[in-house]
Structures are given as C-alpha cells and as structure tokens.
C-alpha cells in the first residue's frame, strides 16, 4: 500500500521544494509520513469542508495550494475558526495535510502556466525570474492568438474564470495582445509586465493605489480575484497527482 510519503515524493516532483520563495511553507504540515495513503482531497484552502470531504470519501491526505499553518502558532484552539479548529479536526481524524505554495506558483505547469493556458496565451515566458540557474520564476507573459479590445478581453477573462474582473483603467481605445498573469496577489509585478511589453496584467488582491498608478500609465491592470486566478491551478495539481499515483483517488473541493 502507498503511504503519505509516496504522495509527498510525487508532490515534490511536480512542485520542487527548491522553487519556493524564501521560507514559504511547503510539504507535509500535519501527519505521519508512514501512514497509509487511502485517497487525496485537493483544494486551494484547507477548510472544515475539505476535512469533512476527506472523512466522507475516506481520504487520508489533504493537499492544498495555501498552507494551513503559515505563521508559527502559539495556540491551537477549537474555538478558533481557522486555522486552529481545522488543524485539530485533521489531527483528531488522522488526516494529513500538505501544501505546495509558491513552489507550485513557480513550477512549470503550475498555477501561472494553468492561468496562461486558460487564456490561450502563446509564446509564454517567465515574468520575474526567481531561480537564475534554472530560469524558473513567478508570473507569466504571453500573446493572445489575436488582438482584442480591452472590453472584449475583460469579457473573455470573465467568461473563462467565471468572475466579473475589475479595473480602473479606461478601456476605450485600448487594445490587448500581450498579457501578463500572476495567480493570487501579483500587482507588484507591474514593472516587469511593462518591461516585457505587456498590454495588461491579470492578478488578484489589487489595492486602490495600484489601480490608480496603472491607470495613470494607461496600463490595463485587472483584478480577477485571488481565488479565481489560483483555483484552476490547485485542481490541476490534484489531477497531476492522480496521474502520478496509480490507483489513488483524488477528490476536488
């Protein structure tokens, strides 16, 4: 029988730990490497719903993009909605938790490549190199198959991700063909996006002053939401793990 360690080996092959930014949490956060692997729940965030799903389907491991434990915890209380009560629920039911955070953002085929693929971008390149030796990095930039008006691009983006994207940049007379993307929160990459010749940057968690600065430059900075820009990549990680671990069922939350 496969063990939790086998799943972590597969996870590290897809999202090498060395690609993580700084001391970002990755790998096994809760659990026993030697415990049997009876199934996986794949998700963006480890929530009570994810724990309940793991119990229901008999999965012994939850693999998420976002770490359940991000900062050192002084207490873990059942009265704490998140993460305390969720950590305790996992421990109580013998459910292991692992994550691939910025290493899956950076990895080939990860969060940002999935987002670029959903938009149909071609000639895709890394936006900010974070691993000079390998050339890997955060964000992607590529070309749409054909130029679109800014309004048509916003509509396309909304249809692809199922959201209502936001921008403060006047869209009239703007054309879009070169597009930069960064799943999650990546407005800090606007300088790299401009330097790469991008007409737009798609990301999430954009603050008002970042919108204003982009609009002043006539640059199309678009907030498509943290969840919407990363969830497809989190599901892709689950699909890739199911392919790598023969006979292991992956349930998506």
Question: 43-92 pLDDT, tens per residue?
Answer: 999 999 999 999 999 999 999 999 999 888 888 899 999 999 999 999 99
pLDDT in tens, 153-211: 999 999 999 999 999 998 887 999 999 999 999 999 999 999 999 999 999 999 999 99
Nearest Cα to 104, choosing from 224, 230, 193?
Answer: 230
pLDDT in tens, 13-33: 999 999 999 889 999 999 999
Q: How many Cα neighbours within 13 Å face the side chain of 173?
A: 2
| pLDDT value at residue 100 | 98
| pLDDT value at residue 247 | 94
Contact in structure between 120 and 156 (CB atoms under 8 Å)? no
Which residues face 203 on adjacent strands?
223
How far apart are alpha carbons 217 and 196 in whole angstroms?
Answer: 15
Cβ neighbors of 61 (< 8 A, separation 6 or more) are 4, 7, 31, 37, 39, 40, 41, 54, 95, 96, 97, 98
Question: For a pLDDT cut of 90, what percent of the chain falls above it?
Answer: 93
Q: How many Cα neighbours within 13 Å face the side chain of 53?
A: 19
Cα distances (angstroms) measured from residue 235 to each of 43, 174, 232, 250: 7, 33, 5, 10
pLDDT in tens, 129-152: 999 989 999 999 999 999 999 999
**226, pLDDT greater than 90:** yes
Domains identified in the chain and CATH numbers: 4-104 (3.40.1390.30), 108-229 (3.40.1390.30)
**The model's pTM:** 0.95
| pLDDT value at residue 244 | 97
| pLDDT value at residue 71 | 82
The DSSP call for residue 2 is -
């Amino acid at each position: 029988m496969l063990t939790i360690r086998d799943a972590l080996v597969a996870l590290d092959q897809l999202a090498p730990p060395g690609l993580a930014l700084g001391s970002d949490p990755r790998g096994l956060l809760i659990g026993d490497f030697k415990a049997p692997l009876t199934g996986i729940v794949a998700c963006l965030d480890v929530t009570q719903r994810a724990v309940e799903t793991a119990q229901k389907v008999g999965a012994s491991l939850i693999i998420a993009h976002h770490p359940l434990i991000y900062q050192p915890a002084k207490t873990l209380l059942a009265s704490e909605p998140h993460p305390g009560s969720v950590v305790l629920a996992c421990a109580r039911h013998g459910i292991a938790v692992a994550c691939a955070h910025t290493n899956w953002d950076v990895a080939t085929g990860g969060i940002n490549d999935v987002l670029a693929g959903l938009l149909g971008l071609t000639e895709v390149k890394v936006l900010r190199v974070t691993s000079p030796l390998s050339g890997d990095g955060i964000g992607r930039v590529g070309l749409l198959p054909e130029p679109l008006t800014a309004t048509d691009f916003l509509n396309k983006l909304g249809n692809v991700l199922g959201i209502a994207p936001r921008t403060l940049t006047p869209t009239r007379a703007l054309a879009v063909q070169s597009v930069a993307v960064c799943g999650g929160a990546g407005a800090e990459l606007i300088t790299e996006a401009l330097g790469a010749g991008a007409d737009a940057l798609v990301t999430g968690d954009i603050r008002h002053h970042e919108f204003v600065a982009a609009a002043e430059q006539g640059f199309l900075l678009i907030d498509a939401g943290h969840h919407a820009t990363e969830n497809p990549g989190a599901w892709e990680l689950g699909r890739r793990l199911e392919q790598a671990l023969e006979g292991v069922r992956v349930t998506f939350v």
